[in-house]
Chains A and B, each alone.
Chain A
Amino acid sequence: MTNENPKKKIRVGKYLLVLLLTGVIFALGFWLSHDIDRFKLSQVDNLRQDLQLDVLSAEVQFSLLSANVCQHIDSSSLTSELYAIGQRLGYMEGALGQNNPEVIRLKKQYSLLEIKQWQLTKKAQEQCGAQLIPILYFYSNQKDCPSCDQQGYVLTYLRDKYPFLRIYSFDYDLDLSALQTLKSLYGLKKELPIVIVGDQSYYGFRDREEIEKILPKVFETLKENQQNGENEETEEVSPQS
């Protein structure tokens, strides 16, 4: 190559300067996305704290107004808050990873709140005859449950279609003692997905129609239980009158 092309000449300084500038943009991006993620997590935490207050207040209401409790309990707002947290938590789980310690901590607290709410719903159902059906749903994020996604779609769909359904979903593998107790209460085996409607546990994927068929039966048992309860009360009351 005898010819000279001065424009081809490599200027190391320029290459390094651009490297520095690109590095700065990258660092800015890292910092920005990290900050936004932190902000989002704190938002989930705020929601959780609000819900914790609401659950506590509902519990206090129960104990204060033992007679008129049924007129004052309205669980729909609690439920929608719970769903909002669940949805956001699911998103953060996707963004930050299932093993992020912050995500796991929030998930545990969320599961505890779900158990508490489930208890409240059962109370409202038993004591006030609330027309609500709680459903417990156990899933896994590991690869051992290929149909969990589908089951999730079915339950979300049913939840939107039937406002009387209250769905509480739990990560089967979450290391939380209260969750272990709940699992042993129903004597659950790890055959996921598990859907518990009424007192009956269903193992394996259940499609929309199957669950829709179960619902009226649950309502019937619910009514029967309530009637039996009322009869018992009348029987107890009648001797005094």
Chain B
Amino acid sequence: MTFSSLFIYSAVFLGLYTSLFFILTIVENRRRLYLPKLKKNFPSVAILVPCYNEEKSIAQTIKSLLALDYPRNKLKILVIDDGSQDKTLEIAKLFEKQGPVKVYHKENGGKYTALNYGLAHVQSEFVGTLDADSFVDSQSLKTMLPFFSSANVQAVTSSLKVYQPKTVFQYLQNIEYTFGIFLRKTLSFMGSIKVTPGPLTIFRRAVFEKIGHYRSAHQTEDLEIGFRLQSHNFQIDNAIDAHVYTVAPASFKPLYKQRVRWYQGLLRNGWDYRRLLNYKHGNLGLFILPITYLGIFSLFSISFLVLAQIASKAFSAFSSWQAIGFDISQFQFHLDWFFINSHLLMFLGFMSIIFTVIAVFLGQKLSKSVFSLDFGKGIILAALFYGPLYFSWWLGATTQVLLNRHPNWVKEKELI
């Protein structure tokens, strides 16, 4: 067995191990997936909506918050305009007369500054964050708040979905997000959630006094605050049936920019919080973080091996073409089961695909969502294109980190 095949087998082994671990975790916690909705003793909640050039979606975001099924006297909505150059501020101001909405304007300083600005203006027991391109389900607060009944829970995340997918890239992200729903719930049972997404996470306001406010954090403040909560051994939970819809990038370029920003953030914050890689941080330090970093390493190694194989196949096709010239008979294909690869890797690869599909279906089912034709389309697209796309995002992110470049979030916004 050569070194490369030994490496591939180890990577596949770890992949299978992780999938089985996750599925087993969900199975053993199947009776603890949901909590009853909050019916009385409503605590005060403030939702912060940082925004920069969001004129297209801000109105709908605020409307979705106004439609929340929650006592009006307990809810505050703070829209913080981070120096937008479009009509975001004007549009947001239109809602100020409607009950709990308060709009603030400040000079542009980045999303984390807008969040901190908002934090400085709230006194409520709980504080939530919602990106200005996302829309909440009316029941989400009542579904999320019961998770705070456990004293150590400092943050509760929601189930993030793609808002009305229309393009190929959105269908694909829809599947990825659904997988994310499964993943986040699984990680919550292992005390290992490491991101508190911008589209609706609720925190105990007091926690910011203990751990400090938001930081620039390589433009992924929602990841850094997750890491920071974990480093203080605070618990982050997940309400899988609290739905939030976000406008996902519709084409390759904005999606690529977004992902490069996210993943360089993971690499850089991962390095800043490398002290979490310690068995003292339990499942997170012993298993989840190591497997995340090993996964990235395997992604690169296996992708390069696959690319080398494709290159060698292309070379032999080229030399065949050179030797005999173009001939249509070269493209005739006879299917003979004998030549189907029965290699162990094929079997294991097949098993991994099955586990991934199970995870995606569980994500959809457990979040109480319906299976639609769009979902089917997404599955096919993801099966075909997700691998190369994911590799391209990571390649971009790693290159940025190695070249010490930083993503330009303002430009990314312009693309969307």
Chains A and B come from one and the same complex: yes
* B contact residues, total (Cβ < 8 Å): 44
For B282, give its contact among A9, A88, A91 (CB under 8 Å): A9
Tell whether B402 is near chain A: CB-to-CB under 8 Å: no
Are A1 and B233 interface neighbours, CB within 8 A? yes
Tell whether B339 is near chain A: CB-to-CB under 8 Å: yes
Are A91 and B339 interface neighbours, CB within 8 A? yes
Tell whether B149 is near chain A: CB-to-CB under 8 Å: no
The interface stretch among A19-27, A54-62, A63-71, A106-114 is: A19-27
Q: Enumerate chain A residues within 8 angstroms of B341, measured Cβ to Cβ.
A: 95
- Chain A residue with minimal CB distance to B325? A208
Are A8 and B348 interface neighbours, CB within 8 A? no
Which residue, B232, B282, B325, has most C-beta atoms of chain A within 10 A?
A: B282
For B351, give its contact among A17, A25, A33, A153 (CB under 8 Å): A25
In A1-45, the 8 Å CB interface with B consists of 1-10, 14-15, 17-19, 21-22, 25-26, 28-30, 32-33, 36-37, 40, 43
Complex Cα distance, B347 from A33, in Å, reads 8
Are B339 and A10 interface neighbours, CB within 8 A? no
Are A7 and B342 interface neighbours, CB within 8 A? no
Are A22 and B234 interface neighbours, CB within 8 A? no
Are B17 and A19 interface neighbours, CB within 8 A? yes
Are A160 and B191 interface neighbours, CB within 8 A? no
Complex Cα distance, B188 from A154, in Å, reads 60
- Chain A residue with minimal CB distance to B232? A3
Complex Cα distance, B340 from A95, in Å, reads 11
Complex Cα distance, B20 from A208, in Å, reads 54
Are B24 and A14 interface neighbours, CB within 8 A? yes
Known contacts being A10-B283, A95-B341, is A18 close to B24, with CB within 8 Å?
A: yes
Which residue, B341, B342, B343, has most C-beta atoms of chain A within 10 A?
A: B342
- Chain A residue with minimal CB distance to B189? A7
| Least Cβ–Cβ distance between A7 and chain B, in angstroms | 3
For B338, give its contact among A7, A40, A153, A154 (CB under 8 Å): A40
Complex Cα distance, B16 from A88, in Å, reads 32
Are B343 and A8 interface neighbours, CB within 8 A? no
Q: Enumerate chain A residues within 8 angstroms of B188, measured Cβ to Cβ.
A: 7
Are B351 and A29 interface neighbours, CB within 8 A? yes
Known contacts being A8-B281, A95-B341, A149-B316, is A22 close to B324, with CB within 8 Å?
A: no
Q: Enumerate chain A residues within 8 angstroms of B283, measured Cβ to Cβ.
A: 7-10
Known contacts being A1-B232, A26-B13, is A36 close to B342, with CB within 8 Å?
A: yes
For B233, give its contact among A5, A15, A17, A26 (CB under 8 Å): A5
Complex Cα distance, B281 from A180, in Å, reads 68
Tell whether B320 is near chain A: CB-to-CB under 8 Å: yes
Complex Cα distance, B232 from A33, in Å, reads 48
Are B192 and A8 interface neighbours, CB within 8 A? yes
Are A153 and B284 interface neighbours, CB within 8 A? no
Q: Enumerate chain B residues within 8 angstroms of A151, measured Cβ to Cβ.
A: 323
Are A37 and B233 interface neighbours, CB within 8 A? no
- Chain B residue with minimal CB distance to A34? B344
Are B282 and A8 interface neighbours, CB within 8 A? yes
Are A5 and B282 interface neighbours, CB within 8 A? yes
Tell whether B408 is near chain A: CB-to-CB under 8 Å: no
CB 8 Å contact bits of B341-368 with A (1 = contact, 0 = none): 1111011100100000000000000000
| Least Cβ–Cβ distance between A204 and chain B, in angstroms | 13
Known contacts being A18-B20, A22-B17, is A30 close to B324, with CB within 8 Å?
A: no
Question: Interface on B for A, CB 8 Å cutoff?
Answer: 13, 16-17, 20-21, 24, 152, 188-192, 232-235, 279-284, 286-287, 316, 319-320, 322-325, 327, 329-330, 338-339, 341-344, 346-348, 351
| 6 A-B pairs with the lowest CB-CB distances in the bound complex, closest first | A8-B282, A7-B191, A8-B191, A36-B342, A153-B320, A3-B233
Question: Interface on A for B, CB 8 Å cutoff?
Answer: 1-10, 14-15, 17-19, 21-22, 25-26, 28-30, 32-33, 36-37, 40, 43, 88, 91, 95, 149-151, 153-154, 157, 160, 207-208
What are 22 A-B pairs with beta-carbon distances under 8 A? A3-B233, A3-B234, A5-B233, A8-B191, A9-B282, A10-B282, A10-B286, A15-B21, A18-B24, A21-B24, A22-B13, A25-B16, A25-B20, A29-B347, A32-B344, A33-B347, A37-B342, A91-B339, A154-B323, A157-B327, A157-B330, A208-B324
* 10 further A-B pairs in the complex, CB-CB below 8 A; given A14-B24, A18-B17, A43-B338: A2-B233, A5-B235, A7-B191, A9-B283, A14-B21, A15-B287, A29-B347, A157-B329, A208-B323, A208-B324
